[in-house]
């Protein structure tokens, strides 16, 4: 099978299983010149399946985009599935949040979101997996967090932080449960939005950062009352870039997410879209989480910080405690 045919097959498999694709759907694929082959693979996959499809290229001369182009708002009318597969640009996070929120707020629709997606993710990586098994594992892990109050997270790189997650239910992105629906492509994580005004400790990001890639030197983040207090790294340029990105508004420095990777096909490539789905990783994000259960953070941005081999010890409402992950391995 040629690489193109593999890409089309994987794109179709993902849309069928994750996005519940059917022949009555109208699929709108948003792509760009950089990710053209991926966008065309999703488009061809929808057509081949028997669904209607439209293909739109982001205007390169206007990038990084700040606002949603008018023609995108027009094209989405009538679509039942929107697939976002384009280059991940740090400065475009506010645009992406605006676009996804505007689509999800209009009506029942399914959104597959893959900023930073690559050809290899479709050919030999996280989109060629047993989706049913991954959903089963996700549901088991989520059940383990039922009635959780505090999650203490440690990692060999130096992470040592407590997050307060009482009544902040975990979700997973591997199977449609209701509409409107949002999933990353590739999918494969569980997440929750911790209580924004709490959270104490240190995060040492020794993996990837959203839209930035793999760090050359670890980034140490000190958190107090759910907010970033200081950032340190031997890579001063990285510190300056992150400071810029987490100061876009007042809530950009406030806790937004705890995520855990579950995709057995995900590899650590330095692209957070895939890295955060990899087994034996966890990530903590700051910024917008209004799409998560109980989420109150309305920032225009959302930035993930990944670390390896977490140990997660949970304190439950009744005072009991249990280790759900030990050095990156699931305890179920």
* Tens digit of each residue's pLDDT (9 = 90 or more) over 116-167: 999 999 998 899 899 999 999 999 999 999 999 999 999 999 999 999 999 9
Region at 164 (left for phi over 0; alpha for psi -120 to 50; beta for the rest): beta
Q: What is the pLDDT confidence band of residue 177, given thresholds at 50, 70 and 90?
A: confident
Is the peptide bond prior to 180 cis by the omega test (within 30 degrees of 0)? yes
Q: Which SS3 state, helix, strand or coil, does residue 7 take? A: helix
Least confident of 174-188, 223-237, 272-286: 174-188
Tokens of 303: 């930035």
Please report, for the chain, the start and end positions of each structural domain, with discontinuous segments joined by +.
3-123, 131-174+182-330
63-92 per-residue burial string, b: 16 or more CB within 10 A, e: under 16:
bebeebeeebeebbeebbbbbbbbbbbbeb
Record: fold of 3-123: Rossmann fold (3.40.50)
pLDDT tens track for 62-87: 999 999 999 999 999 999 999 999 99
Tokens of 79: 């679509």
What pLDDT is stored for residue 217 in this prediction?
97
Q: How far apart are CA 29 and CA 248, in angstroms?
A: 29
pLDDT tens track for 256-265: 999 999 999 9
Q: Which SS3 state, helix, strand or coil, does residue 244 take? A: helix
Tokens of 109: 């629709």
106 pLDDT above the threshold of 90: no
């Amino acid at each position: 099978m040629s690489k193109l045919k593999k890409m089309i097959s994987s794109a179709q498999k993902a849309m069928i299983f994750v996005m519940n694709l059917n022949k009555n759907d109208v699929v709108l694929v948003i792509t760009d010149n950089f990710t053209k082959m991926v966008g065309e693979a999703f488009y061809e996959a929808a057509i081949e399946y028997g669904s209607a499809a439209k293909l739109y290229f982001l205007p390169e001369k206007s990038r990084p985009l700040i606002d949603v182009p008018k023609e995108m708002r027009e094209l989405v009318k009538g679509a039942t599935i929107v697939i976002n597969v384009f280059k991940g640009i740090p400065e475009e996070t506010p645009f992406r949040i605006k676009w996804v929120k505007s689509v999800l707020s209009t009506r029942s629709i399914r959104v597959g979101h893959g900023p930073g997606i690559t050809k290899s993710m479709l050919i030999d990586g996280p989109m060629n997996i047993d989706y049913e098994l991954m959903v089963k594992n996700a549901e088991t892990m989520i059940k383990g967090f039922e009635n959780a109050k505090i999650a203490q997270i440690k990692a060999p790189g130096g992470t040592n932080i407590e997050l307060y997650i009482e009544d902040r239910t975990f979700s997973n992105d591997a199977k449609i449960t209701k509409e409107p629906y949002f999933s990353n492509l590739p999918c494969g994580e569980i997440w929750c939005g911790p209580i924004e005004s709490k959270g104490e400790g240190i995060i040492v990001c020794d993996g990837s950062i959203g839209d930035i890639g793999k760090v050359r030197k670890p980034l140490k983040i000190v958190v107090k009352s759910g907010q970033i207090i200081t950032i340190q790294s031997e890579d001063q340029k990285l510190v300056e870039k992150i400071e810029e990105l987490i100061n876009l508004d007042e809530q950009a420095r406030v806790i937004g997410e705890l995520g855990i990777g579950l995709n057995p096909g995900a590899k650590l490539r330095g692209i957070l879209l895939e890295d955060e789905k990899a087994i034996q990783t966890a990530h903590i994000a700051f910024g917008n989480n209004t799409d998560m259960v109980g989420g109150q953070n309305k920032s225009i941005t959302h930035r993930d910080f990944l670390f390896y081999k977490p140990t997660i010890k949970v304190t439950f409402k009744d005072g009991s405690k249990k280790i759900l992950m030990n050095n990156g391995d699931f305890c179920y």
